[in-house]
């Protein structure tokens, strides 16, 4: 999508509802991966949220946006989750920081006994990031113009500044500009694993069932690199990935594998995670990953932007530890 055609202020809610974003999408031509790739699936970090919001407001009663829908249920859920964050809430936000490339390299070279603070080695960082194609300029395509500074390649510092831009924070980019606490996101994930209809509810049981159905596994042009042996994504018709082990991680990095097996959801560039592991048979009778009759709702929101960790291994390891704790408690309860 030609993002350079859209002013950042078009993302403000009143402008979204005036079709400022919609008219840009309407005038864009569709682009798909090359036919010889064998799949039309291609991850879009920003565009998917713009399109989804346009669909949502066209079919929702009263034409509300995703951010407005979230506003309406936030107080009932008592959850700090925003898409289109009011100025008074922005004052509560923690600042996002990052390590420069040189500092990240230095920290990755330190041995464990010198208080090493990076889980990945330089070789692993290279393999992980090489396995994820640039969403800005996939093979054979012109590089689109960035939103905020046309014809300029964004640096790491620019990416962090983007998260502080008033139009970005106050506007609606449903796949990117969400401002949330980990507890707030976990409360949303909890709704996805509830066995019975809950009150308050994010969506009906039937909608949840449909959201988790029609799962299809296919290679992703952005996230797939044949030379690295990346596994395909398994996406449901509701647009959430079902992690089946080994996805989104290079073959030569075993630590990536099997840390999220059975979980649904996604993780954000930089480290955040919003995923859930349903109880046995909730959405699939053949689901063999369930470990709890109540399911598992997991969320992780770091303030250190881990640009070097495209597989979000830090969050995945924490997920794995949560699963181990639940299994241990379950085993202990059975023995007693």
Say if CB 252 and CB 227 are below 8 A apart: no
Domain boundaries, the chain: 3-91+170-335
What is the model's pLDDT at position 54? 97
DSSP classification of residue 231: B
Residues 35-46 pLDDT 10s: 888 888 888 888
Give the distance, in angstroms, between the CA of residue 329 and the centroid of all CA atoms in the same chain: 29
Supply the pTM of this predicted model: 0.87
Give the list of residues 6+ apart from residue 139 with CB closer than 8 angstroms, or none. 34, 133
Average pLDDT of the chain? 81
What is the model's pLDDT at position 184? 96
Residues 81-122 pLDDT 10s: 999 999 999 999 998 888 888 888 888 888 878 877 787 777
């Amino acid at each position: 999508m030609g993002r350079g055609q859209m002013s950042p202020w078009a993302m403000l809610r009143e402008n979204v509802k005036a079709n400022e974003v919609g008219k840009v999408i309407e005038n864009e031509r569709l682009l798909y991966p090359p036919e010889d790739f064998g799949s039309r699936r291609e991850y879009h970090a920003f565009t998917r949220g713009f399109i989804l919001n346009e669909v949502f407001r066209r079919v929702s009663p009263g034409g509300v946006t995703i951010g407005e829908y979230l506003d309406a249920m936030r107080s009932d859920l008592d959850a700090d989750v925003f898409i289109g964050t009011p100025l008074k809430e922005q004052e509560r936000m923690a600042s996002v920081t990052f390590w420069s490339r040189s500092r990240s390299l230095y920290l990755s070279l330190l041995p464990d006994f010198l208080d090493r603070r990076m889980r990945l080695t330089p070789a692993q960082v290279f393999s992980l990031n090489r396995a994820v194609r640039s969403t800005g300029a996939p093979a054979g395509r012109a590089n689109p113009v960035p939103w905020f500074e046309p014809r300029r390649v964004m640096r790491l510092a620019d990416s962090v500044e983007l998260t502080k831009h008033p139009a970005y924070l106050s506007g609606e980019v449903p796949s990117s500009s969400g401002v949330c606490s980990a507890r707030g996101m976990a409360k949303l994930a909890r709704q996805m694993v509830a066995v019975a209809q809950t009150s308050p509810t994010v969506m009906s049981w039937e909608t949840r069932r449909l959201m988790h159905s029609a799962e299809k596994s296919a290679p992703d042009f952005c996230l797939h690199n044949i030379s690295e042996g990346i596994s395909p994504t398994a996406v449901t018709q509701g647009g959430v990935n079902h992690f089946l082990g080994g996805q989104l991680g290079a073959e030569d990095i075993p630590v990536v594998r099997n840390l999220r097996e059975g979980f649904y959801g996604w993780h954000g560039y930089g480290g955040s995670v919003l995923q859930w592991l349903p109880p046995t048979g909730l959405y699939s009778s053949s689901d063999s990953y369930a470990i709890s009759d109540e399911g598992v709702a997991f969320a992780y929101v770091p303030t250190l932007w881990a640009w070097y960790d495209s597989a979000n291994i830090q969050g995945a390891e924490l997920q794995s530890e949560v699963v181990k704790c639940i299994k241990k408690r379950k085993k202990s309860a059975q023995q007693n």
